[in-house]
Chains A and B, each alone.
Chain A
Amino acid sequence: MKSREPGLGTAVGRRDALKLAGLTVAFLWTAASGTARASMSARRQSADAAAARADGAPPFAPNAFIRIDADGIIRLVMPNVEMGQGIYTGATMMLAEELGVGIDQVVIEHAPPNETLYSMPLWGGQITGGSSSTRGNWQVLREAGAVARTLLVTAAATRWHVDPAVCSVARGVVSAPGAGRSLTYGALAKAAGALPMPANVVLKEPKNFALIGKPLRRVDSVDKVNGTTQFGMDVKVPGMKIATVQACPTLGGRVSGVNDKRTRAIAGVIDVIVLDHAVAVVGEHFWAAKQGLEALDIEWDLGDNADLTTAMLRKSLSDASTSGAAIVAKEVGSKPSGQSVASTYQLPMLAHATMEPMNTTVWVTPTQCEIWVGTQVPTRCVTEAAKITGLSEDKIVLHNQYLGGGFGRRLETDSVEQAVRLATKVRYPIKVIWTREEDIRHDIVRPMYHDHISAVLDSGGRPVWYGDRVCGATVLGRWSPMDMDKNGMDDDLVECVAEIPYDIPARKVEWVRHNVPDGVIVGWWRGVGPTHNLFVVESFMDELAHTAGKDPLEYRRALLSKNPRSLALLNIAAEKIGWSTAPLPRRIGRGIALGEPFGSRVCAIVEVEVTPAGEVRLRHAVVALDCGIAINPNSVEAQVQGGLLFGLSAALFNGITIKHGAIEQSNFNDYRSLRINETPTIEVHVVPSEESPGGLGEVGTAIAAPALGNAIFAATGVRLRSLPVDRTALVSDADALRAVAS
């Protein structure tokens, strides 16, 4: 599993790629070529032999992604993990397109952990995140399919003594003119497997695509609809026991003592295991474990964060913004004189609340550690498990599972590490399940932000300079500190503000690092930098339009004359929603947001009604999208719909707060999630394109909040400069403010 090719050491590979870490993606795309680092390949590598042997030794395994068995079964190994984003379908389409099979003809497999064979080109690691999978797969998987097809055709042509050029493929069969010249891939597998790798393969012209660009149904739906899909939560191992766990509620606190007398008396309780920061109870079933955990008498050492509150974090954040040392991320021209506009925006910490709570199943024996988990970082899990168990990495066997949501939470290994630690203390396999309360109280949260944004307008109200002083904690600095820029910059903090779609001649964008106390751990969250910055930038663009006395649509249009792709999206969205300067009914408003996150371009217009009581009702949303080639328009639409709702949900409802050093929220009653009765109708308009594909999983999320905030302003005249939406600000005076605003 861990056999690496010489010269592709982990440190080098990760440094190159993680510096880019799903963040500055448009830049990343162009920068991704030519660097020596671990990256998956369309052709057989030295590590492939062992991988294929472990995968049933198929007669034809031309690379890490395709296996054709003698009985004709075609298996495709998915380099990324499936967490709802539809990458198993997209990756299958890319492979199948060039391989010459239907997506109904293949069997899908999760990839094993293998940093050499399945490292994403944009990361240099086996990582699913940062809306990078389709972009990373686009060349490699089509080429992998073409390599396989070329070998199968060569094998057939050799057998028939014909020129390969006269052969054609369709649905897993090679044919050539003449009687009897038709063979299935299964029949050709052994001969094709003995051929040398082709140096060059020809990829299809887009106009000849049979699958790519067609709306196809997902490959993983049937089992998800009948309940047979196995998520990590559903793993069954013979002899397995179930554990649940409580870590010290105070972040960074430790266990100082446990009285388990009452717990041990509960039927079905098997063990109580004490770790440094947490206590677990193991039971015959989850209920016994949970009852047992609740019966424990635990004494906590609350540690340094015992008195920590959100207000203290907010204050240290705003202090840092005011007086901290800034790193300049982008400076163009200088600040001219003129009418100045400035605002401060604040964003909260956020939890992920994946539908499937954190869980890991582990079986540690003296010679091996076997792990079953749905993770976005399988190789990181292996590395951590090796450290904890003292076993070498080749003794760590990880079985990846379908993920019941990821959103960046499963880019972390904390829950896996904890489960491995627990498993080292027992002789049987254990499944460690976090309650929802544990899942939220010990989430690795999206950081809070405090941004001071400003602009100088010319006499016509047009911005000639903008400045943004972003302040927040760095995720990259914790998650992969060696990948920070040399000057200490984390580009994620300024993505979608250092570069914006509009033609503004001068700017200065800088970041002040917020150092959070030990124990407060910040992590990736769907959209991270773009989700944060687009709220600030696009809300502020609306403020500028209002200051200039201009319609927000016209104001943006005037700044997009040099950006036809984004201008087109703005125009499509406006046309589809029927944008007009004529007033809408009372307390109904529409808000525009435009951005270029993750290598795609997107414009959303959201229509809301704000009730007299300050409740925000989502009425309708229109999204125009340019994501380059839409591999599967069905998945594209679904990701935009779902991503938008994820962002709207967070903007309306969510903020993690801390009291006595502990996260106050604990479940869906106090960490709300949007429900079907609160969901607007959504139109998604995808513009045709032959450009390389852009990222998608986080695009809808990133564009949601500013469109919502701008709609609320249009409906009420109240400008929301912090999230989540403060309903109390939208109650009574809102009507009067609207008159002022219009």
Chain B
Amino acid sequence: MFVLQVNGETRSVDVPADMPLLWVLRDVIGLTGTKFGCGIAQCGACTVHLNGRAVRSCVLPVGTIGDKAITTIEAVGKTPSGQKIQEAWLNVDVVQCGYCQSGQIMSAAALLARSANPTDADIDAAMAGNICRCGTYVRIRAAIKQAATGNVVVMQAMPPAGGA
């Protein structure tokens, strides 16, 4: 039995110690916003925060977590950086299929929390572990910069703000 701090709530789970957090979240607790993509920490779809740091939950044994705070996509909007990132994601209209975007947003929110104004190199370093097969990278970069600076990114096709 493990007692986890998930999105500000205490959750007790009766699972093996080596079970990755990803499957505890998805199949036991029922939080399916965190995605399975590769199972070997290569794609980043499963990214969550552990005490605010981005980690790959598909290779994180639940028995190693202890009382560290787990934050998932379902609650990251309650953090200042998560809220900014989600707003920018909508404004820049980043998503396509959307399957990787939970992980992208979690990586980006962790980046923004520790680096208020990330450079391109910072973005590369923080986001290179998150694969998007639809190829939304150009807009991901733009959205992170918008979230950081508050300066609305001028997209080629999009009006700067508002819209539907």
B157 x A676 contact (CB < 8 A) = no
B154 near A: Cβ within 8 Å? no
Contact of B89 among A221, A403, A646 (CB under 8 A): A221
B133 near A: Cβ within 8 Å? yes
Interface size class of A (residues with CB under 8 A): 35 or more
B40 near A: Cβ within 8 Å? yes
Which residues on the B side are within 8 Å of A644 (C-beta)?
A: 135
CA of A669 to CA of B42 in the docked complex: distance in angstroms?
7
Contact of B27 among A220, A285, A356, A404 (CB under 8 A): A285
Least distance between A705 CB and chain B CB atoms (Å): 14
CA of A57 to CA of B155 in the docked complex: distance in angstroms?
42
A368 near B: Cβ within 8 Å? no
Which residues on the A side are within 8 Å of B141 (C-beta)?
A: 676, 679
**A638-B42 contact in complex given A220-B95, A242-B27, C-beta closer than 8 Å:** no
Residues 84-103 of B, flagged 1 when their CB comes within 8 A of A and 0 if not, give 00100110011111111110
CA of A654 to CA of B37 in the docked complex: distance in angstroms?
18
Which residues on the A side are within 8 Å of B28 (C-beta)?
A: 285
Q: Most chain-B Cβ atoms within 10 A of its Cβ — which of A217, A644, A667?
A: A217
Least distance between A678 CB and chain B CB atoms (Å): 8
**A355-B45 contact in complex given A225-B95, A644-B135, A676-B130, C-beta closer than 8 Å:** yes
CA of A667 to CA of B36 in the docked complex: distance in angstroms?
13
Contact of A103 among B34, B35, B94, B164 (CB under 8 A): B164
B73 near A: Cβ within 8 Å? yes
CA of A218 to CA of B134 in the docked complex: distance in angstroms?
15
B2 near A: Cβ within 8 Å? no
A355 x B33 contact (CB < 8 A) = no
Within 8 A of B (CB), among A252-297: 267-268, 284-287
Which residues on the B side are within 8 Å of A511 (C-beta)?
A: none
Contact of B73 among A215, A226, A242, A268 (CB under 8 A): A226
B99 x A217 contact (CB < 8 A) = no
A667 x B40 contact (CB < 8 A) = yes
Interface size class of B (residues with CB under 8 A): 35 or more
Within 8 A of A (CB), among B116-143: 123-125, 127-141
B156 x A287 contact (CB < 8 A) = no
B40 x A645 contact (CB < 8 A) = no
A683 x B36 contact (CB < 8 A) = no
CA of A437 to CA of B138 in the docked complex: distance in angstroms?
28
A664 near B: Cβ within 8 Å? no
**A668-B27 contact in complex given A221-B95, A355-B97, A404-B99, C-beta closer than 8 Å:** no
**A641-B135 contact in complex given A227-B102, A677-B128, C-beta closer than 8 Å:** yes
Contact of B98 among A404, A437, A682 (CB under 8 A): A404
**A285-B23 contact in complex given A227-B33, A355-B99, C-beta closer than 8 Å:** yes
A673 near B: Cβ within 8 Å? yes
Which residues on the B side are within 8 Å of A633 (C-beta)?
A: 157
CA of A356 to CA of B97 in the docked complex: distance in angstroms?
9
Q: Most chain-B Cβ atoms within 10 A of its Cβ — which of A215, A354, A437?
A: A215
Q: B-side binding surface: helix, strand, loop or mixed?
A: loop
In the complex, residue of chain B having the shortest beta-carbon distance to the beta carbon of A231:
B99
CA of A675 to CA of B140 in the docked complex: distance in angstroms?
11
In the complex, residue of chain B having the shortest beta-carbon distance to the beta carbon of A700:
B135
A598 near B: Cβ within 8 Å? no
Contact of A405 among B36, B97, B158 (CB under 8 A): B97
Least distance between B28 CB and chain A CB atoms (Å): 6
B30 near A: Cβ within 8 Å? yes
Least distance between B95 CB and chain A CB atoms (Å): 4
**A228-B134 contact in complex given A104-B164, A637-B156, A637-B157, C-beta closer than 8 Å:** no
A224 x B98 contact (CB < 8 A) = yes
In the complex, residue of chain B having the shortest beta-carbon distance to the beta carbon of A359:
B36
Least distance between A287 CB and chain B CB atoms (Å): 4
B50 near A: Cβ within 8 Å? no
CA of A436 to CA of B134 in the docked complex: distance in angstroms?
17
Least distance between B94 CB and chain A CB atoms (Å): 8
Which residues on the A side are within 8 Å of B164 (C-beta)?
A: 102-104, 216-217
CA of A437 to CA of B123 in the docked complex: distance in angstroms?
29
In the complex, residue of chain B having the shortest beta-carbon distance to the beta carbon of A218:
B93
Contact of A402 among B27, B98, B102 (CB under 8 A): B98
Enumerate chain A interface residues (CB-CB to B < 8 A): 82-86, 102-104, 215-218, 220-222, 224-231, 233-234, 236, 242, 267-268, 284-287, 353-357, 402-407, 433, 435-437, 633-634, 636-638, 641-646, 649, 667-669, 673-677, 679, 681-684, 686
A to B CB contacts below 8 Å, 29 in the list: A83-B97, A84-B98, A85-B96, A104-B164, A217-B163, A229-B98, A231-B98, A233-B32, A285-B15, A285-B27, A354-B99, A356-B97, A357-B36, A357-B37, A402-B98, A433-B36, A436-B39, A436-B40, A436-B43, A633-B157, A634-B155, A638-B139, A649-B135, A673-B43, A675-B131, A676-B124, A677-B124, A677-B125, A679-B137
Enumerate chain B interface residues (CB-CB to A < 8 A): 15-16, 19-20, 23, 26-28, 30, 32-40, 42-43, 45, 72-74, 77, 86, 89-90, 93-102, 105, 123-125, 127-141, 155-159, 163-164
- 4 A-B pairs closest in CB distance: A227-B33, A404-B99, A84-B97, A645-B135
Please give 18 more A-B residue pairs, beta carbons under 8 A apart, in addition to A218-B93, A354-B133, A679-B137: A84-B95, A220-B98, A221-B93, A225-B94, A226-B74, A226-B86, A231-B35, A284-B27, A286-B23, A356-B99, A407-B133, A633-B157, A636-B157, A667-B39, A676-B124, A676-B127, A682-B138, A683-B156
